Amino acid sequence: MGFISRFILPREVDFDAALEEQAHVTRIIVEDLRAACVDDDVEAFSALSTHADQARSLKSRNMKELLDVFITPYDKESIYRMITQLDWVALSVRHFKLEAEAYSISSFEEYRPIVEVLFEMATLLELGVTRLSAKSARSLAPDIDLIHDKYDRVVTLCAQSFAGLLGSSEFKRLIVQREILAQLKEIARRLHITANTLEDMAIKVI
């Protein structure tokens, strides 16, 4: 039986567990961002880099498993999109960190409301992946709707934040603010796109 299972029977991979793990690390990365910006945790950005490296390793592992496996719980294209979109969330948070360091931003107070919403989105996304894994796809709809609403909230907060500076004569601050807010919106956009992918996967298994 060992020979048969190894060389003849198609190999199976627990992609539910793999996606849950990747979504969990993604949420932790956004939580690191929240700790840095909301709680003023000086160690949070270091933790963010460590967790971002972990997320990249998980992405590489999951992609390799997807290429090597024959049987999957969902269609391969959906799993591929979920793996890559979760990776993009992690990358977008890392890019925010890099921009914040490049612009020597010392205070994140004005971004706190936005980052709080991003953390709520990431938490809902992780919960949604868990619901999908538990075959509770029908219970996903409220979570997805909330993520969509929170994405709109981030866009609104970013627009309001930039509009409040339009009368400023500090040209450099305007440019920095525009770039930082654009990156925060990118994080939200990636979370939103990942939620759409999750919704698509749920619909296909109902």
For residue 141, being part of any structural domain is answered with: yes
* 77 lies in some domain: yes
* Averaged pLDDT of the chain: 90
Q: Which tens digit of pLDDT belongs to each residue from 24-51?
A: 999 999 999 999 999 989 899 999 999 9
Number of domains in the chain: 1
Q: Which residues contact 113 (CB under 8 A, 6 or more apart)?
A: 157
The alpha carbon of residue 147 and the mean position of all alpha carbons in its chain are separated, in whole angstroms, by 12
**Residue where the block lists tokens 């496996």:** 69
Q: In the prediction, which pLDDT does 11 show?
A: 59
The answer to whether 152 and 75 are in contact (CB under 8 A) is no
Residues 93/94/98/101 CA torsion (nearest 10 deg):
70
Q: Is residue 1 part of a domain?
A: no
- CATH classification of the domain holding 92: 1.20.58.220
pLDDT given for residue 203 in this prediction: 87
The answer to whether position 53 is within a domain reads yes
Query: Is residue 190, in this structure, part of any structural domain at all?
Result: yes
Q: What is the mean pLDDT of residues 78-104?
A: 96
Render pLDDT for 92-118 as a digit per residue (tens, 0 to 9).
Answer: 999 999 999 999 998 898 999 999 999
SS3 167: coil
Unique residue bearing structure tokens 């525009």? 178
Is 5 inside a domain boundary? no
C-alpha span between 177 and 108 (Å, rounded): 11
Give the Cα separation of 19 and 126 in Å (integer): 9
User: 160-172 burial, b for 16+ CB within 10 Å, e for fewer?
Assistant: ebeeeeeeeeeee
Whether residue 158 lies inside any domain: the answer is: yes
Q: Is the pLDDT of residue 178 over 60?
A: yes
**Is there a domain that residue 123 lies in?**
yes
Domain that holds residue 123: 13-205
pLDDT at 23 over 80: yes
Res 153 pLDDT > 90: yes
Q: How far apart are CA 168 and CA 153, in angstroms?
A: 24
